[in-house]
Amino acid sequence: MLIWEDLTVAQKRAIKEMSEYSFEKMVRIWFQLLQGQKFLGNWHFSYLCREVEKIISGESQNVIFNITPGSGKTEIFSIHMSPYASLKSKKVRNLNLSFSDGLVQQNSNRIKEIIGSPEWQELWPGKLAKASAKDLIVQDGNGKVKLQVNSRSIGGQVTGLRGGYMDDGFTGMLVLDDPDKPDDMFSKVRREAIHNRLKNTVRSRRMKDTTPIVMVQQRLHVNDSTWFMTSGGMGGIEFKVVSIPALVTKDYGDSLPDWLKPEFERDVLNSEPVYIDGVAHYSFWPAKESAKDLLALREADPYTFASQYQQQPIALGGNVFKVDWFQFYGDGEKCTLPKPDRFEYTFITGDTAQKAGELNDYSVFCYWGMFKNRVYFIDGIRGKWEAPDLETNFKAFVNQCWKRNKECGSLRRIHIEDKASGTGLIQGAQKSLPIDINPVQRSTDKVTRAMDAAPVMRAGRVALPESHPMLSEILAEVAAFTFDDSHPNDDIVDNIVDAVNVEMNLADDAVGRMKKLAGLRKK
């Protein structure tokens, strides 16, 4: 533990040099000196601090940081970044904006505590010419402004305030700390009001066009400020995005800069993972919160977790499908249907992804049962597989379902979209399966297919089990599905739509119906 009074002159000089050299070291040192406790480190702090150094050095300009709650972002961006910037530049003026006036004042007070502390003043003497709840001005020995920090709520009065100066090089920045108010995200009118404020007011708060804009926020909506700013809403200003989700994978680690990968492996990959769709997921900060606890949050509220924790918001309120259209079967309180002793027959649907990368779609296979003109979801698998793993997992799933013929009902058909990886899957797997695969030709667009399926779903003719590992994902995708394709994933929805349209919206003529029902291979 660092105790200022116990340090030698040489040790204090070392602290001064380290604070001026490295932002991460500066944060660690001054948090410990003034808060009386060690700063709990993690790989993501190194990542964020390095990105801040790039901004101040001019290597990066406009950056959006999407970070999970409880990540320490306030300590880095709202508190320590301004003092560090003053150590790297002759003259700095930062304008900090947030949705919360109380948060703005709290962070402003912390900056004053650092700059005004006897420890800081001993190393970098300066006069606090102004130190109100929202404004801070530090002057050097000659009475010239060294650092100016103005903090305001984004909806408050910012006229006359600027980030940066007209001088060459880095002279300050415009910092947006959680500009979106969570409750406002449920209103299209309020979201658009924030967007207009960003474009018409906030954008002009830069002293010059090279003054960096730095935004730090947890995602709250598919059309939040991050979406607006990265979609060209700021009039030609381009943004780099640094995203740190709460649950991370090895693939995410592989996408990080090479210098950071050893820290990621040290801090993350040695911890206990949880498995989602067969993929290992780790807590981004295991020393603070386990992957198991994060998974519990995900299961409790998949919508909030996807946006605020994973930085992948889902489009709620799409008004295409409603989750209360589903019937639930089983013995639980929410169940309106009993579990059939045996289905009339069973079938499989499949939607395959074109690519298996982390940012691409999933491949999903679902096992269904038909009973009294209603389709029941029995089982399913979901994952991101490259060939031949895609074929291996598919055949294993089919064989598993085939073995349940006596329990669930005869497996009659398999429906796979005849497109991209699905075509290869059909060709590769057909010969080794006990039943023919029906290549689904989707001749209509996704919106039309959804509209065809909606009346059947609205009538309560799609039933889900009271519990299943995929249940939260099913409900989340259905609730998120939109006509404008703004939802992140729709692979499960595609399976539901196929189950309804292919199996329940059958051809009206008898010949066509019989052709659909003839699926069993003659042996």
Highest mean pLDDT, choosing among 337-341, 473-477, 511-515: 337-341
> C-alpha angle 299/500/465, rounded to 5°?
35
Task: Give the single-character DSSP code of 80.
Answer: I
CB 153 within 8 A of CB 166: no
How crowded is the C-beta side of 445, counted as CA atoms within 13 Å? 5
Cis bond leading into 455, ω under 30°?
A: no
Per-residue model confidence (pLDDT) at position 336: 94
Biggest alpha carbon–alpha carbon distance for the chain: 96
* Res 353 pLDDT > 50: yes
Element (H, E) at 20: helix 9-21
141 vs 60, higher pLDDT: 60
Task: Give the single-character DSSP code of 154.
Answer: T
Taking CA atoms, 228 is separated from 210, 218, 473, in Å, by 20, 14, 26
CB-count exposure of residue 162 (10 Å: 0-12, 13-18, 19+): buried
Task: Give the single-character DSSP code of 278.
Answer: T
Per-residue model confidence (pLDDT) at position 514: 45
For residue 427, what pLDDT band results from cuts at 50, 70 and 90? confident
* Fold type of domain 323-517: Nucleotidyltransferase; domain 5 (3.30.420)
Task: Give the single-character DSSP code of 412.
Answer: E
For residue 51, what pLDDT band results from cuts at 50, 70 and 90? very high
Q: How far apart are CA 108 and CA 98, in angstroms?
A: 12
For residue 457, what pLDDT band results from cuts at 50, 70 and 90? very high
Per-residue model confidence (pLDDT) at position 149: 92
Domain spans of the chain, in order of start: 42-244, 248-298, 323-517
Per-residue model confidence (pLDDT) at position 134: 84
Element (H, E) at 296: helix 291-300
CB 384 within 8 A of CB 416: no
Query: Residue 409 carries which side chain, given as an amino acid letter?
Result: G
Per-residue model confidence (pLDDT) at position 519: 43
Backbone angles phi, psi at 66, to 5 degrees: -100, 110
Q: What is the mean pLDDT of the chain?
A: 88
433 vs 157, higher pLDDT: 433
Per-residue model confidence (pLDDT) at position 515: 46
Q: How far apart are CA 178 and CA 97, in angstroms?
A: 8
For residue 257, what pLDDT band results from cuts at 50, 70 and 90? very high
Contacts of residue 357, defined as CB under 8 A and 6 or more positions apart, other chains included, come to 251, 384
**Structure tokens that stand for 228 in this block:** 């607006």
Hey, which residues does 215 pair with through a beta bridge? Answer: 64, 176
> C-alpha angle 339/343/345, rounded to 5°?
155
Prediction pTM value: 0.67
Per-residue model confidence (pLDDT) at position 509: 38
pLDDT digits (tens, 9 = 90+) for 80-115: 999 999 999 999 999 988 877 666 677 778 888 999
Q: How far apart are CA 511 and CA 508, in angstroms?
A: 9
* Fold type of domain 42-244: Rossmann fold (3.40.50)
CB 203 within 8 A of CB 235: yes
Q: Which of 93, 113, 92 is closest to 36 using CA atoms? A: 113
Within 10 angstroms of residue 387's Cβ, the number of other Cβ atoms is: 13
* Res 511 pLDDT > 70: no
For residue 479, what pLDDT band results from cuts at 50, 70 and 90? confident
